Amino acid sequence: MSILVTIEHEQNTQTILASQGETLLTLLQNNGFHLSADCGGQCFCGKCKVRVTGGGELLTGEDAFLNEAEIANGVRLACAVSIQNDLTVSLPARKQAKILTNGLRRQFELDAIIRKVVVHLPKPSLNDQRDDATRLLEAIGKPTLAMPLQLLYRLPSTLREQDFVVTVTVDTQTVIAVEAGDTSDVGYGVAVDIGTTTVVCYLMDLKSGEFVDTASQVNAQAVFGADVISRIRHTMEQDDGLETLKSRITSQIFELTQAMLVKNNINPQHLYGMLFAGNSTMLHLLCGFEVKHIAAAPFIATQMQAVTVLAQEIGIKFNAHMRAYILPHMSSYVGADITAAILASGLYEQDDLSLLIDIGTNGEMVLGNKDKLLCCSTAAGPAFEGANIACGMGGVAGAINSVRYVDGQIAVTTIDAKPPIGICGSGIIDAVAAMLQMGVVDETGRLLDVDEVDESLATYLYETDEGNAFQLTENVSITAKDIREVQLAKAAIAAGIEVLMEQMGVAVKDIDHVYLAGGFGSFLNQESAAAIGLLPQELIEKTLVIGNGAGMGAVMAMLSKTHQEMATAICRNAKCIELSGMPSFQDYYIDKMMFE
């Protein structure tokens, strides 16, 4: 007699042949259906719930895992159903997580790196004298998982507090916590993006995959220098420089997180992990690793691999057991922030060829798809962040953030519509594009003299001791030197793109998508970027702004083991091109200096 089991799963129905006496869990697992069964099918964890029609009586002990509504509704544990006749089974829908960024919506299976498992342990007896640790680990089906000493101290009393019902929190390597009773509803993690400029912390509910809160601040190390190199210099010039920078960032992350926990009434004992993205210098400083060899050729990091430690080992202590996960870097200058942005973009999963660009003081670029990844970093300089620009400033209220030349008139907007007090990166690119359009800057980047231009334009130009200048508003000007800074920066980025294409053996037309990551990318006027030659014109319409790709990638890695592991695979597979040693980069760089 053949027994048929009909399986309903996410709008699909499938019928498979079963053997009499086989458990439903085994049948489902052997046929490729994913069903959680932390205890390995021993009826300890209560995870493998399915709705069954025709499955026979509830087993003793099975009901402990089911509430009344579930029992009424025919819910069973698949491991407790011994197949004796034809059955119909409805599988639960898989939990999904969604990440929204400016322009990109990513959906993936929720499978957080930290999980909580409720187990009803078999009680010890003269016939079952397993030690407490083994009893627990075998019940969750992970007999070889590490069990820290810290947890072993309280384990015997915790197991006995609620009569051998406990909730175990684990990641892939170790037990993180053991709590008496069922505490599976409360579990949180924080994903952190440590930018050189800004630190952002995302507080996540690990069970639902939802954002609970977000907190951000200017990086507390900023007083020691705006960019990576000046932070590194500080560690070399001051005896306690490394320690100071480390404690600045760890204290800041502690305080940002602490404030979110208080605001949301969350017990710090239920915060089990933090996951960090950031460039290699920021994450080295977080850990307290020496950074001086990153600054000078051949640019060697202490540690680029993923690091997993107790959070208290790096100086962040909410409780003794909280874990810290640090994403891996691709190179000293293509860091874990880019690894995370790659995760957020999804480009490593696609057949299509994509270009990912994150423009800051350095411009990091990745060209690739699911088969191949090439990356590089160019020292663009801080022009696009408003530094080294006469009237330059960051993106704050009163900064000119867009400039247009329309009907013979210059029109500017400012952040928060405040009176203009300076100009930020996106404004500078617009301004240079407008000046090219007006014809007051030639293709070599020279700002023309007053007597070289029409009268209508001459009113914008004036001479200073340091060369010509262009009066944008009453108190904001662009100098000839500013234009040179923009030229150097855009040439570095554009030449980097050329080298990646050359190494990949592709042309601009072969690129299907461009992802712009980072704050600057979000505000950039893409037409202006093309006008000054920062990006090829052909790519503009293929461009998608993904906002804080590093932060979103960190959240994805926290909510998905698959993506956390993918981060390591990405770093292992990516080939990093060191531009400083490459003659063709120099050629492209000089070539791209021109405005065309």
Binding site for a second copy (CB under 8 A): 124-134, 147, 149, 152-153, 155-157, 287-290, 292-293, 297-305, 307, 309, 313-314, 329, 331-332, 576, 578, 580-581
Question: How far apart are alpha carbons 261 and 188 in whole angstroms?
Answer: 10
For 376, other C-beta atoms within 10 Å of its C-beta total 28
- The 8-class DSSP code of residue 384 comes to G
For 9, the token pair is 């799963």
Residues near 47 by beta carbon (within 8 Å), at least 6 away in sequence: 35, 36, 37, 38, 39, 117
Q: How far is the CB of 203 from a second copy (least distance, A)?
A: 25
Reference 339, options 89, 483, 517; nearest CA is 517
Q: How far is the CB of 421 from a second copy (least distance, A)?
A: 42
Closest to a second copy by CB, 160 vs 446, is 160
Closest to a second copy by CB, 211 vs 299, is 299
Closest to a second copy by CB, 423 vs 500, is 500
Angle value at C-alpha 51, between 46 and 53, nearest 5 degrees: 130
Sheet holding 188-194, edge to edge: 211-218, 198-205, 188-194, 271-278, 323-326, 307-310
Q: How far is the CB of 375 from a second copy (least distance, A)?
A: 12
- Are 332 and 299 spatial neighbours (Cβ–Cβ below 8 Å)? yes
Question: How far apart are alpha carbons 514 and 405 in whole angstroms?
Answer: 27
Closest to a second copy by CB, 94 vs 572, is 572
Question: How far apart are alpha carbons 254 and 129 in whole angstroms?
Answer: 43
Q: How far is the CB of 497 from a second copy (least distance, A)?
A: 21
Residue 492 host element (H or E): helix 480-504
Closest to a second copy by CB, 126 vs 417, is 126
Q: How far is the CB of 303 from a second copy (least distance, A)?
A: 4
Q: How far is the CB of 583 from a second copy (least distance, A)?
A: 13
Residues near 409 by beta carbon (within 8 Å), at least 6 away in sequence: none
- Are 431 and 386 spatial neighbours (Cβ–Cβ below 8 Å)? no
- Are 546 and 517 spatial neighbours (Cβ–Cβ below 8 Å)? yes
Q: How far is the CB of 144 from a second copy (least distance, A)?
A: 9
- Are 98 and 70 spatial neighbours (Cβ–Cβ below 8 Å)? no
Q: How far is the CB of 555 from a second copy (least distance, A)?
A: 25
Q: How far is the CB of 331 from a second copy (least distance, A)?
A: 6
For 173, other C-beta atoms within 10 Å of its C-beta total 11
Report CA-CA distances (Å) from 412 to 191, 433, 435, 447, 472.
Answer: 37, 13, 13, 20, 8
Q: What beta strand segments (E) does 181-315 contain?
A: 188-194, 198-205, 211-218, 271-278, 307-310
Q: How far is the CB of 53 from a second copy (least distance, A)?
A: 42
Q: How far is the CB of 92 from a second copy (least distance, A)?
A: 35
Residues near 544 by beta carbon (within 8 Å), at least 6 away in sequence: 103, 104, 513, 514, 515, 516
Closest to a second copy by CB, 277 vs 516, is 277
Closest to a second copy by CB, 278 vs 395, is 278
Closest to a second copy by CB, 157 vs 251, is 157
Reference 362, options 315, 294, 427, 305; nearest CA is 294
Sheet holding 165-170, edge to edge: 115-120, 165-170, 175-180
Report CA-CA distances (Å) from 393 to 198, 399, 411, 427, 472.
Answer: 15, 7, 19, 10, 15
Closest to a second copy by CB, 164 vs 318, is 164
Q: How far is the CB of 161 from a second copy (least distance, A)?
A: 13
Q: How far is the CB of 113 from a second copy (least distance, A)?
A: 18
Closest to a second copy by CB, 275 vs 441, is 275
Closest to a second copy by CB, 53 vs 134, is 134
Reference 460, options 482, 484, 479; nearest CA is 479
3 state DSSP class of 203: strand
Question: How far apart are alpha carbons 458 and 450 in whole angstroms?
Answer: 5
Beta strands 477-479 and 575-576 are unpaired
For 359, the token pair is 């423009």
Closest to a second copy by CB, 56 vs 288, is 288
Closest to a second copy by CB, 277 vs 311, is 311
